[in-house]
């Protein structure tokens, strides 16, 4: 180790960063659902333990050691856990929560993932939710958790750079999921992000997680809510309009077009015809769904009631009311991606307005599944025989005599003599909510050698990549504060496809032109003006006299002290003289957005 004072120059900046809102999770608790993801509450479960294992009752620290290759059947009754070990007739009783630990993976016999018994690394925690129900919770480190997420959220065929982008997005999401749960941090289904555990891991997706270790997408010195969906159709949507109710904004989740040409295309052409975009390889790039009027009326009579209960339908349709005579479906409001945000459904029984992206998709279900996206136009069709019949009636005008053509009579004819459509066809684009990263788009960019940082910067506006800050304080125990992260000095990627052959050559070249040199900046926030700090970068010792600096943000390029692969920064605790103060440190990869 060597002491560096003058050679490590800190660049001083005037700007003051706001406090970070999210602390990094190194351990995560994932709630495990049943095979069909319909519930997270279990009345019983059988755990298969292959390694040296133990079970602990957290209520009184009662511990039961188990032999290898052990089966444990667990049920709960009146809030008490009963554990039957290897078929023993007499159970071990525990108050819970119950912790199951093993030197190998832990499998759950009743749960199937990807065609085989679900298996999990880490430990399993059982917590009661009701006297006869409990949660199964997988507690494990963040990196291992992500290795059970990435190959289930994105096909590994999309390539290493796309998988790296997915790993960062999943890491961000796991640190600030949109769903709130009582006993665990995150669920294992599409309601959060898909986590299938240890037996779903692959070597390439594991590599993507390892080669982005400790790295997050950041905006304004906070980690972003890294939303993603399968395919946007070529234009992503604003968070403000989709999830923010036109009130809450997230400036990094702005609508992004793969090419400006898409913005100029008229809606009918945009949805009915395929147009080049980064996610054009998606089977849902453009899609079509046709409903007969009778089929759609039956669906709406149920789904309008369901969505009325969520507050998405005005006026509400009650269970006791009938829906009939579907006349028309009109999009009243669209987002930046041409997404339907407000739809009017006109029927003889009444008119209804449906708001928000997801309720709109769920209202127009077919075979129990919602629309692929809310990006669509609707065309209604009429039976040709009905058209001929109506024309004949108009010419003969036999329904009402001249003497009967009073105003009430004409209204009666308009209501009961109206020809209704025979079917409705939805022409749509994309799959999912369309906010943030398009996974098929990431796969396309990866296939042309676009590095993961530029993929993320395309879909998340003005983000930087780096670590979540860590607070350094004084402590009596001499405990250090460390961060580990992956850094690559070689920013070159082998291109499997030639950019010149892509219909989006210009757009790909623009993204590649934004490529940055491999650079890493250490940032220290010294708002409390501490007198002294000491830290190590891969064994190099630093102790700059920061009391000489008048500014609150210290920055320096530390690239030359880093290695290809995993790197570690360790801060010693502050001195006793700075007992009531603190500093924060983190790193930024590439150029920082000012």
Say whether both 342 and 360 belong to one domain: yes
Say whether both 340 and 476 belong to one domain: no
pLDDT of the residue at 490:
75
Say whether both 487 and 459 belong to one domain: yes
Say whether both 457 and 503 belong to one domain: yes
For residue 230, tell me if it sits in a domain: no
| Cα distances (Å, whole numbers) of residue 49 to 67, 98, 170, 190, 198 | 9, 15, 29, 28, 14
For residue 410, tell me if it sits in a domain: no
pLDDT along the chain (594 residues), means of 10: 31 33 83 96 96 93 89 96 93 96 95 95 97 97 97 96 97 83 93 94 97 95 91 96 88 96 94 96 97 96 96 95 96 96 97 97 95 97 69 51 48 62 97 96 96 96 94 94 92 76 94 84 91 93 75 89 96 93 94 63
* Alpha-carbon gap, residue 228 to 456, rounded angstroms: 11
Final residue before a domain boundary, out of 164, 196, 213: 213
Final residue before a domain boundary, out of 213, 229, 245: 213
For residue 186, tell me if it sits in a domain: yes
* 580 sits in which H/E element: none
Say whether both 92 and 40 belong to one domain: yes
For residue 257, tell me if it sits in a domain: no
pLDDT of the residue at 411:
45
Which residues make Cβ contacts (< 8 Å) with residue 290, sequence separation at least 6? 423, 424, 425, 426
For residue 70, tell me if it sits in a domain: yes
Identify the bridge partners of residue 472 per DSSP, sorted by sequence position.
583
Closest CA relative to residue 430, chosen from 291, 274, 300: 274
pLDDT of the residue at 407:
53
| Cα distances (Å, whole numbers) of residue 401 to 410, 437, 574 | 11, 63, 97
pLDDT of the residue at 418:
77
For residue 366, tell me if it sits in a domain: yes
How confident is the model over 210-231, as pLDDT tens digits?
999 999 999 988 899 999 999 9
For residue 239, tell me if it sits in a domain: no
Whether 580 contacts 527, CB under 8 Å? no
Say whether both 424 and 448 belong to one domain: no
Say whether both 109 and 57 belong to one domain: yes
Say whether both 14 and 67 belong to one domain: no
Final residue before a domain boundary, out of 194, 213, 232: 213
Say whether both 12 and 97 belong to one domain: no
Domain that holds residue 542: 3-18+442-589
Say whether both 189 and 150 belong to one domain: yes
For residue 544, tell me if it sits in a domain: yes
Closest CA relative to residue 484, chosen from 566, 589, 556, 539: 566
Domain count of the fold of the chain: 3
* Alpha-carbon gap, residue 518 to 562, rounded angstroms: 11
Say whether both 123 and 50 belong to one domain: yes
Closest CA relative to residue 306, chosen from 371, 359, 355, 361: 359
Give the residue carrying structure tokens 């790197």. 567
Peptide bond into 463 cis (omega under 30): no
Say whether both 176 and 45 belong to one domain: yes
- DSSP letter assigned to residue 257: B
């Amino acid at each position: 180790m060597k002491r560096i004072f003058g050679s490590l120059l800190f660049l001083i900046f005037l700007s003051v960063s706001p406090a970070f809102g999210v602390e990094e999770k190194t351990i995560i608790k994932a709630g495990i659902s049943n095979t069909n993801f319909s519930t997270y509450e279990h009345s019983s479960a059988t755990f298969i333990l292959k390694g040296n294992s133990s079970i602990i009752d957290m209520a009184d620290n009662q511990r039961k050691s188990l032999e290898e290759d052990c089966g444990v059947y667990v049920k709960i009754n009146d809030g008490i856990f009963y554990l039957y070990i290897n078929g023993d007739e007499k159970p071990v009783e525990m108050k819970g929560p119950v912790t199951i630990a093993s030197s190998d993976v832990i499998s759950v016999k009743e749960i199937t993932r990807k065609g085989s018994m679900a298996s999990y690394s880490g430990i399993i925690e059982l917590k009661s939710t009701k006297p006869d129900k409990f949660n199964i919770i997988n507690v494990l480190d963040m990196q291992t958790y992500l290795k059970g997420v990435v190959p289930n959220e994105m096909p590994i065929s999309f390539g290493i750079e796309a998988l790296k982008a997915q790993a960062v997005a999943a890491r961000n999401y796991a640190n600030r999921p949109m769903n709130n749960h009582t006993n665990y941090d995150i669920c294992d289904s599409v309601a959060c992000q898909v986590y299938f555990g240890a037996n779903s891991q692959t070597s390439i997706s594991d590599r993507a997680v390892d080669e982005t270790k400790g790295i997050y997408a950041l905006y304004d010195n906070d980690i972003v809510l890294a939303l993603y969906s399968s395919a946007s159709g070529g234009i992503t949507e604003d968070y403000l309009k989709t999830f923010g109710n036109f009130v809450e904004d997230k400036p990094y989740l702005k609508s992004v077009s793969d090419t400006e040409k898409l913005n100029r295309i008229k809606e009918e052409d945009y949805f009915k015809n395929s147009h080049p975009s980064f996610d054009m390889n998606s089977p849902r790039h453009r899609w079509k769904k046709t409903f007969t009027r009778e089929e759609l009326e039956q669906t709406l009579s149920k789904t309008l009631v369901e969505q009325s209960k969520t507050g998405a339908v005005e006026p509400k349709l009650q269970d006791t009311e009938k829906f009939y005579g579907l006349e028309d479906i009109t999009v009243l409001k669209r987002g930046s991606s041409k997404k339907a945000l407000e739809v009017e459904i006109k029927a003889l029984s009444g008119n209804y307005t449906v708001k928000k992206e997801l309720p709109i998709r769920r209202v127009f279900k077919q075979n129990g599944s919602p629309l692929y996206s809310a990006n669509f136009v609707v065309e209604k069709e009429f039976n040709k025989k009905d058209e001929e019949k109506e024309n004949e009636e108009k010419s003969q005008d036999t329904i009402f005599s001249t003497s009967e053509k009073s105003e009430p009579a004409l209204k009666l004819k308009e209501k009961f003599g109206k020809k209704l459509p025979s079917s409705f066809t939805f022409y749509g684009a994309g799959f999912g909510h369309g906010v943030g990263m398009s996974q098929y788009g990431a796969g396309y960019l990866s296939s042309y050698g676009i590095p993961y940082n530029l993929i993320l910067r395309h879909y998340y506006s003005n983000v930087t990549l780096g670590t979540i800050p860590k607070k350094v304080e004084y402590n009596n125990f001499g405990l250090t504060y460390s961060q580990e992260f992956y850094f690559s000095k070689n920013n070159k990627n082998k291109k499997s496809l030639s950019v010149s052959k892509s219909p989006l050559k210009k757009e790909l070249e623009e993204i590649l032109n934004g490529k940055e040199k491999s650079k890493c900046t250490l940032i220290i926030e010294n708002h409390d003006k501490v007198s002294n700090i000491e830290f190590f970068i891969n064994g190099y010792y630093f102790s700059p006299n920061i009391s000489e600096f008048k500014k609150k943000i210290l920055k320096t390029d530390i690239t030359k002290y880093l290695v290809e692969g995993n790197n570690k920064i360790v801060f010693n605790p502050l001195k006793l003289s700075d007992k009531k103060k603190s500093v924060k440190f983190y790193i930024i990869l590439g150029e920082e957005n000012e």
